[in-house]
């Protein structure tokens, strides 16, 4: 009898690889819990925000005094709901950006990270009172605040992750961390869809505040790992104030080519999303007249996006980043957006709008976002906290403001024109992604000199 040939060992499954990563990296547990809790808390709020943004009743969103003032002059504020909300968001971001820059410059990481989340928790408690008492104007204030909260809380998270993990570990773990966040993003709309009819919107705010309290615990548990990584790599400690100007982020973006192209990618990437969001809101306004129906519609869209995203994050993201680096991670979502807009320009069917929204946003969350964040593990801390915050907040909301008004002008000519313009904007986004891929190659490869394991 011929000797038996030993079977080749089977490649571990995606779940097996995740279990192995968690076993070898204790901070990965806390990073997963952190991002899960953060996005769960945000996605509890997002359907409520989207329902307000698509409301056809101005009194639901704006203070009664604003509506009366506009009516006396022959204006209907409901015709400009999203435009006014996005303008208010940008103006608020314009004020907060230098304040955040000053906070980061003058206080060490152990101070400014918890402070950011404590402020958000206090705001949620204030909104709980406003919604419970049905105060006039709570809609516009909540919409603007939620948009600000989302950007600042998430950019602070990823900046902190670049302190905890180096480039090699980012390629290995960021897909899993993104999947943890996506699970939270899946659970959030489910909580909203289940509890909103039973408990009311005001009590959902307390659920979100509880999620942010978990984030605070994770920050405290991850801080020693960030300190360890900085010591191993001989980097400046985040336990000391960073110093510099509150305007340093803007100066870095203006001076550094890579940051400029990241800003270009962000501007046009947000632009294509804003055009699609506005068309979706218009569809929802006509198809679902009630607030509860619109909230359920947006919750279902978010569930579909996040369900697809988590599959990509578990089975594709880690392999793609480790094998090919950030190049394909940036280019695949950009090309998907371009193809989606070409389809919509040819046939702007309502269902196709929802389908393109699901596929393009899922690609951004599962591939584009982890690829961009991996780049920040190879740059200085001032780039990670100051310049990154400018791109992720100021540029992001500046794009929102620009394209929400552009959509208002284009919508008068019909959906075909909106999506045809979107093809050009998606092309600019794809070019920006290509330039980022080329420019980031000039960064040092930053091989790991230590490990985040104990």
Q: Is the pLDDT of residue 287 over 80?
A: no
Looking at residue 54, what is its pLDDT? 63
Instruction: Write out the two tokens for 75.
Output: 């204006």
pTM given for the model? 0.79
Q: How far apart are CA 110 and CA 129, in angstroms?
A: 30
**6-60, pLDDT tens digit by residue?**
444 455 555 666 666 666 778 899 999 999 999 999 988 887 787 776 666 677 7
Looking at residue 120, what is its pLDDT? 92
Question: How many structural domains is the chain composed of?
Answer: 1
Looking at residue 290, what is its pLDDT? 67
**297-330, pLDDT tens digit by residue?**
777 787 788 788 888 988 898 889 988 889 999 9
- Most confident of the ranges 109-113, 209-213, 225-229, 347-351: 209-213
- Most confident of the ranges 3-7, 41-45, 349-353, 425-429: 425-429
DSSP result, 24-76: H-HHHHHHHHHHHHHHHHHHHHHHHHHHHHT-S-HHHHS-HHHHHHHHHTT--
Query: In this structure, what is the dihedral angle of CA atoms 258, 42, 186, 191, given to the nearest 10 degrees?
Result: 180
Looking at residue 19, what is its pLDDT? 67
Residue 450 within a domain: no
**239-262, pLDDT tens digit by residue?**
666 666 667 888 899 999 999 999
Neighbours of 135 (CB within 10 A): 13
Q: How far apart are CA 248 and CA 246, in angstroms?
A: 6
Residue 298 within a domain: yes
Q: How far apart are CA 61 and CA 53, in angstroms?
A: 8
9, 170, 352, 433, 439 from 259: Cα distances, Å: 44, 19, 34, 12, 9
Q: Is the pLDDT of residue 125 over 90?
A: yes
* pLDDT-derived band at 213, boundaries 50, 70, 90: very high
Say what percent of the chain tops pLDDT 70: 87
Say which residue, 433 or 197, is predicted with more confidence.
433
Say which residue, 371 or 195, is predicted with more confidence.
371
Q: How far apart are CA 220 and CA 290, in angstroms?
A: 42
Looking at residue 169, what is its pLDDT? 85
Q: Is the pLDDT of residue 445 over 70?
A: no
Q: In this structure, what CATH number is given to the domain that contains residue 245?
A: 1.20.1250.20
Residue 88 within a domain: yes
Compute φ and ψ for 378, nearest 5 degrees: -105, 15
**65-89, pLDDT tens digit by residue?**
787 888 887 787 777 777 788 888 8
Residue 12 within a domain: no
Looking at residue 2, what is its pLDDT? 44
Mean pLDDT for the chain?
83
Largest Cα span, the chain: 98
Looking at residue 243, what is its pLDDT? 66
* pLDDT-derived band at 172, boundaries 50, 70, 90: confident
Q: Is the pLDDT of residue 205 over 60?
A: yes
Q: Is the pLDDT of residue 446 over 60?
A: no
* pLDDT-derived band at 447, boundaries 50, 70, 90: very low
Contact 400, 322 (CB under 8 A): no
- Most confident of the ranges 240-249, 291-300, 326-335, 411-420: 326-335
Looking at residue 40, what is its pLDDT? 94
Say what percent of the chain tops pLDDT 90: 26
Looking at residue 339, what is its pLDDT? 93
**85-104, pLDDT tens digit by residue?**
888 888 888 888 888 888 88
Residue 24 within a domain: yes
Looking at residue 375, what is its pLDDT? 93
Neighbours of 403 (CB within 10 A): 26
For residue 184, give its domain range: 18-442
Nearest to 354 by CA among 399, 288, 402: 288
Q: For 318, how many CA atoms within 13 A lie in the half-sphere containing its CB?
A: 20
């Amino acid at each position: 009898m011929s000797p038996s040939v030993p079977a080749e060992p089977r490649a571990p499954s995606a779940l097996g690889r995740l279990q192995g990563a968690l076993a070898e990296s204790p901070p990965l547990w806390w990073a997963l819990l952190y991002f899960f809790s953060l996005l769960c808390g945000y996605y509890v709020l997002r359907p409520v925000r989207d329902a307000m943004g698509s409301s056809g009743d101005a009194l639901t969103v704006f203070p009664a005094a604003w509506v009366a003032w506009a009516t006396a002059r022959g204006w209907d504020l409901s015709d400009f709901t999203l435009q006014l909300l996005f303008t208010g968001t940008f103006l608020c971001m314009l004020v907060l950006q230098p304040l955040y820059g000053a906070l980061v410059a003058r206080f060490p990481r152990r101070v400014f990270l918890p402070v950011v989340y404590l402020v958000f928790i206090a705001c949620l408690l204030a909104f709980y009172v406003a919604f419970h008492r049905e105060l006039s104007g709570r809609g516009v204030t909540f919409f603007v605040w939620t948009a600000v909260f989302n950007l600042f809380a998430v950019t602070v998270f990823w900046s902190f992750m670049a302190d905890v993990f180096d480039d090699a570990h980012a390629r290995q773990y960021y897909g899993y961390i993104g999947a943890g966040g996506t699970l939270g993003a899946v659970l959030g709309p489910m909580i909203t869809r289940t509890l909103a009819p039973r408990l009311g919107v005001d009590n959902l705010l307390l659920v979100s505040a509880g999620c942010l309290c978990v984030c605070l615990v994770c920050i405290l548990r991850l801080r020693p790992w960030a300190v360890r990584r900085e010591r191993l790599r001989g980097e400046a400690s985040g336990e000391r104030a960073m110093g510099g100007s509150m305007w340093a982020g803007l100066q870095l973006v203006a001076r550094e080519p890579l940051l400029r192209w990241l800003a270009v990618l962000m501007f046009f990437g947000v632009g294509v999303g804003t055009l699609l969001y506005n068309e979706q809101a218009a569809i929802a306004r006509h198809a679902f007249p009630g607030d509860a129906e619109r909230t359920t519609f947006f919750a279902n869209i978010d569930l579909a996006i996040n369900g697809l995203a988590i599959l990509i994050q578990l089975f594709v993201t880690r392999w793609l980043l480790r094998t090919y680096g950030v190049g394909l991670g940036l280019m695949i979502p950009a090309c998907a957006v371009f193809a989606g807009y070409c389809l919509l320009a040819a046939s702007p069917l309502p269902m196709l709008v929802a389908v393109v929204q699901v596929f393009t946003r899922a690609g951004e969350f599962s591939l584009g976002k982890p690829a961009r964040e991996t780049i920040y593990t190879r740059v200085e801390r001032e780039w990670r906290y100051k310049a990154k915050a400018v791109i992720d907040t100021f540029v992001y909301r500046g794009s929102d403001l620009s394209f929400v008004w552009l959509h208002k002008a284009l919508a008068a000519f019909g959906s075909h024109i909106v999506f045809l313009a979107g093809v050009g904007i998606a092309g600019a986004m794809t070019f920006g992604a290509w330039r980022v891929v080329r420019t980031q190659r000039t960064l040092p490869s930053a091989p790991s000199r230590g490990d985040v394991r104990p």
